Structure 1
């Protein structure tokens, strides 16, 4: 294996001190449990239950459909309000994680949320989006062929004036919430508890896959791979914006592309 490739498969030194005080460690563990309970951990439980329900349904999984952005009301104004509340919830999840890091004395530059490298961060986002998005689509289509994935519809919102802006906002909010909570916050806190870098990204990658289980087994494995890649990129580069940007690009293409080409099935 080339040395450069091997180096990227290994974590870089983190520079984060392990917390030794027993009381502080308990508080960090409790904080993680609370954050996951109100954010993506709870989503993982709901997602797993959704998959169980789908498997128990009379219709085979391959004939079922899952919608990522669905109408919440028959009234277009009320529906818009519901969609914006969902976006606000996701923004709030990420903001909560940022706040807790700041309260713990961890500057945002230490997790890669500073604005010192906008150009390189943007290029990194484009590269990661291609690296993850194209194989992810292939894995989903394979799952459809072999019958282990439902039909994933990124959007069934009606063709109203606010549909595209809401889909873009939803994509950005998804990316913000997931990468801030799963990478910036959770990996940092696990470092403080003394978890090894490999163990930490393994656990967070499985959790990322778990809250996508409602999209089928293929989505689980695809998102586990995404979590492993994103986690290692962050551990090596200490830059979080490229991950947020890549995730946002993948979702924007899926959500907006599907809205314009409803016959084309895409995934997150």
Structure 2
């Protein structure tokens, strides 16, 4: 079983690690959490019920101009992964690298098998939870994608799903837990902080998005501690988002149970 028991190597003082962690969060999902909070305040203070408002996850960035839109989509995906490159650099400087958090290709089949099992459980449960909290008025209508019907639509949706997974699991689970352990946080406090961070940047979806992703965050931390790898979590998250994005693209407007914006 994997536990966060870390030693701070020579030259890595706690003050440096604390500043480094805050900078990584400010450049990535910490900033997203603040943005989501502002979005949520705007939604709850806007006239009308939350479920009558929409939160679009992957939308067109240049309507009516497909090649320019594609360029923006690729640019957005690539730049969103810049904080992951920063984490890779910081872990390499620490002389442990990404294998220290289990983000490598040493066990691809096992990671994918575990990820598929996790996705099967969380994906179905998450959809049922979303439909329930939206019906109760605690969530916006989540529109996974609103891209034009062009040849690159599905590849971009899959790439966006993988980008989300890599960014979130590497930073929120692998890197964040490692740094909190090095800073002396207890396992329970680190788990709570990681889950809260994950919930915070989904708050733009509503209370349901916040709570549901916090629960997912707790599960993912426990699985990471058991397996010692973020690889299965990246696989699970990629599969969940791919099914959500591509499934919505194929089913929106064709089935009655799927809300559309």
TM over 0.5: yes
What is the CA distance between 1:114 and its match in structure 2? 3.1
Q: Which runs of 5+ in 1 are unaligned?
A: 1-10
What is aligned with 2:102? Answer: 112
| C-alpha distance in 1 between matches for 2:102 and 2:29 | 21
Query: Any conservation in 2 of the 1:19–1:25 contact (CA below 8 Å)?
Result: no
Q: Deviations over 1:217-247 (max 9, x none)?
A: 1011110011111111111210111000000
| C-alpha distance in 2 between matches for 1:262 and 1:194 | 47
Q: Do residues 251 (structure 1) and 241 (structure 2) align?
A: yes
What is aligned with 1:6? Answer: none
Q: Deviations over 1:77-115 (max 9, x none)?
A: 111111111110222222221221111222332211232
| C-alpha distance in 2 between matches for 1:144 and 1:45 | 23
Query: Any conservation in 2 of the 1:98–1:180 contact (CA below 8 Å)?
Result: no
Q: Do residues 52 (structure 1) and 45 (structure 2) align?
A: no
What is aligned with 2:154? Answer: 164
TM-score (norm 2): 0.93
What is aligned with 1:132? Answer: 122
TM-score (norm 1): 0.91
Residues 1:266 and 1:185: Cα distance change in structure 2 (over 3 Å): farther
| C-alpha distance in 2 between matches for 1:51 and 1:20 | 43
Q: Which runs of 5+ in 2 are unaligned?
A: none
What is the CA distance between 1:16 and its match in structure 2? 2.1
| C-alpha distance in 1 between matches for 2:99 and 2:161 | 24
What is aligned with 2:174? Answer: 184
Q: Do residues 76 (structure 1) and 66 (structure 2) align?
A: yes
SS in 2 for 1:148: coil
Query: Any conservation in 2 of the 1:154–1:266 contact (CA below 8 Å)?
Result: no
Which of residues 110, 120, 137 in structure 2 aligns to 1:147? 137
What is the CA distance between 1:13 and its match in structure 2? 3.5
| C-alpha distance in 2 between matches for 1:255 and 1:203 | 28
SS in 1 for 2:59: coil
SS in 2 for 1:155: strand
Q: Do residues 32 (structure 1) and 51 (structure 2) align?
A: no
What is aligned with 1:65? Answer: 54
Which of residues 77, 92, 113 in structure 2 aligns to 1:87? 77
Residues 1:66 and 1:252: Cα distance change in structure 2 (over 3 Å): same
